[in-house]
Amino acid sequence: MRKINPNSRRILFSIGILLLFNLSTMAQDDLLEMLEEEQEPESTPVSATFKSTRIINGHSIETRKAGSMEVIIQHRFGRINSGIENFFGLDEAYIRIGLDFSLTDKLTVGIGRSSEKATYDGFLKYKFLEQKSNGGFPFTATAFFSAASDTRDRPVEVDFKHTLSYVGEILIARKFSPGFSLQMMPVWVHRNLVETPEDVNDVFALGIAGRQKISRRSALTFEYYYQFNNTTDSPNYNSIGLGIDIETGGHVFQIHVTNSRGMIEKEFIADTDGDFWDGDIHIGFNLIRVFQLKRDGKPPKPMEGY
């Protein structure tokens, strides 16, 4: 038979004392501590990975709750290196006006019109995975599909189908901390008709974007799209954007600098002709106003007997 050595007996004794001590602290029954212990940390969907449904030029993974409508006015001035005669670009204006409707909490449809190339666009956006708090699912993923029609007057008449372009994109984002979020987005851009024989119809790109809050209501943002296969003949650069988000109640105001003029995917991802490092930079802003068309439902009634 093995002898229990005095050391381990002492340990057992200490454990016993500890257990007793534990019981007595439990008996003190601090009600609040008891409640806190009982409340399991819930794993809920993470909200506000980004302040807005747009980061700078491109979309974020965010979709608004069902019944919301967003009015979006996007505006880019001319290039700041265009000199005093063009008032550093402020004489020029490129604009996109858009309306987004949230049909469900996860599905948004949008339409828009851009002054650049007189383009109409429409998109569908569907959030199919959600990041959850407290060790739940690690990221949010949203699928995006858009179609655009370039309705410029051209010297030669083109069929409607030749004015069309399509974009398919998967947006994947994670909110790492209350202040910091990062997003990756593989994109495919298809153009039915390209400008020159050297241009490719299908462009593949990978975007990366992020935000860092600098106060409770403002954040710094960046966005970059790397093109894998676009032509290098005509001026063609990867889209870069740096910005600030400012939130004021029902509005989000985004101010930024970017080398892209267009405000739809097909334009800024595959057709950016400004060299950011050469000063081909546009000052721009997005003004987003959210309207709640349909309320989320009545608040619960008070309990009976009170």
Partner 1 sequence: MAILPYVSVAQQYKSTESYIRFFSDAPLEDIEAVNEKGVSAFNVETGEIAFSIPIKGFQFAKSLMQEHFNENFMESDKYPRATFKGKISGYDQNKSGWQPGTANGTMNIHGVEKELKIDGELQISDGNVKIKSVFPVTVADYEIEIPKVVFYNIAEVVEVTINFEYAKN
E-strand ranges in 37-179 read 68-79, 93-102, 107-114, 119-129, 140-150, 164-175
Question: 60 or 259, CB closer to partner 1?
Answer: 60
Binding mask 283-302 for partner 1 (x = CB under 8 A): -------x-x--xxxxxx-x
Phi and psi at 200, nearest 5°, equal: -90, 150
Closest CA to 244 of 187, 194, 284, 207: 284
Binding mask 46-75 for partner 1 (x = CB under 8 A): -xx---------------xx--x-------
Question: 219 or 257, CB closer to partner 1?
Answer: 219
Q: Residue 140: is it exposed, middle or buried by C-beta count within 10 angstroms (0-12/13-18/19+)?
A: buried
Q: Which stretch binds partner 1 (CB under 8 A): 7-15, 77-85, 234-242, 243-251?
A: 243-251
- Of the candidates 4, 84, 156, 303, which one interacts with partner 1 according to CB under 8 A? 303
Distance CA 241, CA 50 (A): 16
Closest CA to 239 of 216, 262, 220: 262
Parallel, antiparallel or unpaired: strands 140-150 and 107-114: unpaired
Q: How far is the CB of 252 from partner 1 (least distance, A)?
A: 10
User: What part of residues 26-45 is at the interface with partner 1 (CB under 8 A)?
Assistant: 26-32, 34-36, 38-39, 41-42, 44
Question: 240 or 290, CB closer to partner 1?
Answer: 290
Question: 32 or 84, CB closer to partner 1?
Answer: 32
Question: 161 or 301, CB closer to partner 1?
Answer: 301
The Cβ of residue 211 has, within 10 Å, a number of other Cβ atoms equal to 27
User: What part of residues 70-129 is at the interface with partner 1 (CB under 8 A)?
Assistant: none
- Of the candidates 100, 247, 267, 280, which one interacts with partner 1 according to CB under 8 A? 247
User: What part of residues 8-27 is at the interface with partner 1 (CB under 8 A)?
Assistant: 24, 26-27
How many residues make contact with partner 1 (CB under 8 A)?
42
Closest CA to 212 of 222, 223, 203, 202: 222
User: What part of residues 169-188 is at the interface with partner 1 (CB under 8 A)?
Assistant: 178
Tokens representing 301 are: 């009634």
Indicate the DSSP class of residue 59: B
Cβ atoms 108, 102 nearer than 8 A = yes
Question: Does the protein bind partner 1 through residue 216 (CB under 8 A)?
Answer: yes
Give me the half-sphere count of Cα atoms (radius 13 Å) on the Cβ side of residue 193.
13
The residues of the shown chain that bind partner 1, judged by CB under 8 A, are 24, 26-32, 34-36, 38-39, 41-42, 44, 47-48, 64-65, 68, 133, 178, 216-217, 247-251, 290, 292, 295-300, 302-303, 305-306
